[in-house]
């Protein structure tokens, strides 16, 4: 299940950019990363918080990130030391394998990246709960699936400059059961904001450019 730079409501994490590497066994890399996550004391458990609650609660430690599909162990280790890009790339390595019911493995990685200050990862974490495919044995965290958490997470990440956050909060204004009342004006305003932030992103639809 693909959950790329952020998740379109109608297309589960349609990628904000195409990523291909024909020299890499994409499925094998995804399976290996999932195995490593399942064996990790830190990442095997699904966090129960709302993404917004963990945002920027840890200090990011920037450093070069190895190609996660080639060196999944090194990538995950770097994530564990506090590198948000490594956490994001580790989650993406799993997603690119198109493995059914992978969300319980990608969600902890996106949450780790979110805690280290990645706005896009916070959006991905929220959308993973909303749109991801979870195994029956590992249900998504309730706190992250509430209308309040969903709206506030996307809204804050939009404010932080994540175009997909703006896209997702726009969709919240079209929900009959959302945290805020339905509003076409607010929907359009947030869609325009997504285009202002990144006109080349998949979050920017042509009619709002």
pLDDT tens by residue, the chain, 209 residues? 444 444 433 334 433 433 444 457 999 999 999 999 999 999 999 999 999 999 999 999 999 999 999 999 999 999 999 999 999 999 999 999 999 889 999 999 999 999 999 999 999 999 999 899 999 999 999 999 999 999 999 999 999 999 999 999 999 999 888 899 999 999 999 999 999 999 999 999 999 99
Q: Supply the pTM of this predicted model.
A: 0.87
Kindly give, in sequence order, each residue whose CB lies less than 8 Å from that of residue 112, ignoring residues fewer than 6 positions away: 43, 79, 84, 87
Kindly give, in sequence order, each residue whose CB lies less than 8 Å from that of residue 64, ignoring residues fewer than 6 positions away: none
**CB of 58 closer than 8 Å to CB of 151:** no
- Write the secondary structure of the chain as one string of H (helix), E (strand) and C (coil): CCCCCCCECCECCCCCCCCCCCCCCHHHHHHHHHHHHHHCCCCCCCCCCCHHHHCCCCCCCCCCCCCCCCCHHHHHHHHHHCCHHHHHHHHHHHHCCCCCCCHHHHHHHHHHHHHCCCHHHHHHHHHHHHHCCCCCCCCCCHHHHCHHHHHHHHHHHHHCCCHHHHHHHHHHCCCCCCCCCCCHHHHHHHHHHHHHHCCCCCCCCHHHC
For the chain, give every domain's residue range.
26-208
State which fold the 26-208 domain adopts: 1.25.40
């Amino acid at each position: 299940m693909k959950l790329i730079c952020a998740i379109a409501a109608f297309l589960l994490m349609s990628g904000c950019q195409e990523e291909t590497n024909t020299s890499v066994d994409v499925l094998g890399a995804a399976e290996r990363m999932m195995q490593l996550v399942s064996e990790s004391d830190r990442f095997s458990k699904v966090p129960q918080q709302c993404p917004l609650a963990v945002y920027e609660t840890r200090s990011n430690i920037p450093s070069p990130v190895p190609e996660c599909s080639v060196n999944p162990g090194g990538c995950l280790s770097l994530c564990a030391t506090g590198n948000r890009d490594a956490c994001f790339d580790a989650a993406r390595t799993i997603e690119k394998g198109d493995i059914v019911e992978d969300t319980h493995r990608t969600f902890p990685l996106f949450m780790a990246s979110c805690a280290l200050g990645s706005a896009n990862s916070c959006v991905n974490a929220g959308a993973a709960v909303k749109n991801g495919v979870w195994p029956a044995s590992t249900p998504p965290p309730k706190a992250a699936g509430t209308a309040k958490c969903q709206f506030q997470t996307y809204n804050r990440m939009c404010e932080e400059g994540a175009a997909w956050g703006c896209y997702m909060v726009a969709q919240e204004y079209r929900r009959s059961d959302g945290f805020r009342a339905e509003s076409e004006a607010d929907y359009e305003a947030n869609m325009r904001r997504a285009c202002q932030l990144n006109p080349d992103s998949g979050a920017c639809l042509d009619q709002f450019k």
